Amino acid sequence: MSFAFTTRLPLSRHEVDRDHARRGADGFLESVRADAATRSLLLWKGKALVREAPLSTHDRIELDLRPLETVPTGDFSLYLGLSLAQDAAEPAGTPLLAVILGDEDAVAVEPDPHRWIGLRDAATATSDRDAGAFTEALAMVNWHASHAHCPRCGAATLVEDSGWTRRCPVDGSQVFPRTDPAVIVLIEDADERVLLGANAMWEQNRYSLLAGFVEPGESLEAGVIREMYEESGLVVTDPEYLGSQPWPFPASVMCGFTARLADGQNPDDVVPDGEEIIDLRWFSRDELRAELGGVILPGASSIARAMLERWLGEPIELPGETHR
Ligand SMILES: [Zn+2]
């Protein structure tokens, strides 16, 4: 069995035109705010307002996109683009604005905490448009939160371009949004076993693919080989790119690769780095299926999960998870 890998990445879905050509124009954000058709995606502490609190993990989740006249101005707002979804409530072409609320405003809009949902929980239960808009909004909000000051002189920077750049009022320098590439790697040995590791930060018995940040001045492929050696002591080769998924927790894009062991590399010579990775295990497909109730595998919103399902050749169904 095979299926399209990239269609199984919940946070890679997008159905919003980011409208790059118009968003940088002077006064554009004000015109969006004045447009009665504009709908707001409300964010509070990284969570989005949804229409109904989900009662179970199988419930669909819809963003509660509200007309601007019904919501507070918020701490700041950011133009997301034009919805492309054929949706009765918000037809294609609807301008979308992320509005970031402080505590008081958020509670005034919706006091029920269950109507504020995090992206990880919403990821597999939303439409393509909602998943993409929420991912875009959260990634940008996280970038703003950590770039309030000029990297050259330290002055407080000002938001421009409908929320897409910041400028230093002292030296005029512009700062653009950044994202941090990380590689995540499915290593297979000659017996078609996959390597999974347990991270020191995780709950006991949780295993996933090995991953790490790409360093400045390094290709993704070199990052694969270096990170896998650092975390496992294994020399891998032939990294092949599979696909990517934004992961705004807080600012990553996960780049998925496969790799194989270098010639002469014994799979038994695994050495967990002991700091980040505390255990490493090889699983055959049958062993992984047999362990589904025992080991805890990566969540349904992660690229690691999609990579494991691709390798296994079938979806992994775990209790208590939403499936698209
Ligand atoms: Zn400056």
Q: How far is the CA of 175 from the centre of ligand 1 (A)?
A: 10
Q: How far is the CA of 155 from the centre of ligand 1 (A)?
A: 5
Give ∠ CA 324-183-214 in degrees, rounded to 5. Answer: 145
State the sign of the Cα–Cα–Cα–Cα dihedral 146, 152, 155, 157.
Answer: negative
Q: Which residue has the higher pLDDT, 292 or 226?
A: 226
Residue 4 has a pLDDT of 67
Q: What is the total count of domains within the chain?
A: 3
Within this chain, do residues 105 and 165 fall inside the same structural domain, yes or no? no
Within this chain, do residues 27 and 79 fall inside the same structural domain, yes or no? yes
Residue 117 lies in a domain: yes
Residue 318 lies in a domain: no
pTM for the whole structure: 0.94
Asked if 31 and 23 count as a contact pair (C-beta separation under 8 A), the reply is no
The pLDDT-based confidence of 57 (bands split at 50, 70, 90) is: confident
| Torsion angle, alpha carbons of 152, 158, 160, 164, to 10 | 70
Is the pLDDT at 166 greater than 60, yes or no?
yes
Q: How far is the CA of 154 from the centre of ligand 1 (A)?
A: 6
DSSP string covering 225-266: HHHHHHHHS--EEEEEEEEEEEETTTTEEEEEEEEEEPTT--
What are 108-146's pLDDT values in tens digits? 999 999 999 999 999 999 999 999 999 999 999 999 999
Within this chain, do residues 297 and 189 fall inside the same structural domain, yes or no? yes
Within this chain, do residues 156 and 130 fall inside the same structural domain, yes or no? no
Radius of gyration of the chain from its Cα atoms, rounded to whole angstroms: 22
The pLDDT-based confidence of 2 (bands split at 50, 70, 90) is: very low
Q: How far is the CA of 176 from the centre of ligand 1 (A)?
A: 14
Which among 146, 165, 195 is the end of a domain?
146
Average pLDDT along the chain? 94
Range of the domain at 167: 149-178
Q: Which of 232, 162, 170, 227 is nearest to 197 (CA)?
A: 232
Please tell me the distance from the alpha carbon of residue 298 to that of residue 290, in angstroms, as a whole number.
16
Is the pLDDT at 320 greater than 80, yes or no?
no
Residue 187 lies in a domain: yes
Within this chain, do residues 9 and 136 fall inside the same structural domain, yes or no? yes
Within this chain, do residues 239 and 109 fall inside the same structural domain, yes or no? no
Is the pLDDT at 1 greater than 50, yes or no?
no
Asked if 29 and 77 count as a contact pair (C-beta separation under 8 A), the reply is yes
Give the β-pairing of 158-160 and 174-175.
Answer: unpaired
Within this chain, do residues 189 and 235 fall inside the same structural domain, yes or no? yes
Is the pLDDT at 36 greater than 80, yes or no?
yes
Q: Which residue has the higher pLDDT, 247 or 274?
A: 247
Q: How far is the CA of 166 from the centre of ligand 1 (A)?
A: 11
Q: How far is the CA of 148 from the centre of ligand 1 (A)?
A: 11
Within this chain, do residues 225 and 280 fall inside the same structural domain, yes or no? yes
* Cis previous bond, 319, omega within 30: no
What are 250-283's pLDDT values in tens digits? 999 999 999 999 999 999 999 999 999 999 999 9
What are 154-165's pLDDT values in tens digits? 999 999 999 999
Which residues lie across from 159 on neighbouring strands?
166
% of the chain beyond a pLDDT of 70 = 98
Residue 323 has a pLDDT of 52
Residue 322 lies in a domain: no
Q: How far is the CA of 156 from the centre of ligand 1 (A)?
A: 8
Is the pLDDT at 93 greater than 70, yes or no?
yes
Is the pLDDT at 237 greater than 50, yes or no?
yes
Within this chain, do residues 154 and 124 fall inside the same structural domain, yes or no? no
What are 181-227's pLDDT values in tens digits? 999 999 999 999 999 999 999 998 999 999 999 999 999 999 999 99
Q: Is 55 exposed, middle or buried (0-12, 13-18, 19+ CB in 10 A)?
A: exposed
Q: How far is the CA of 78 from the centre of ligand 1 (A)?
A: 22
Q: How far is the CA of 162 from the centre of ligand 1 (A)?
A: 20
Q: How far is the CA of 150 from the centre of ligand 1 (A)?
A: 5
Within this chain, do residues 302 and 224 fall inside the same structural domain, yes or no? yes
Within this chain, do residues 252 and 302 fall inside the same structural domain, yes or no? yes
Q: Which parts of 47-151 fold into alpha helices (H)?
A: 103-109, 119-122, 128-145
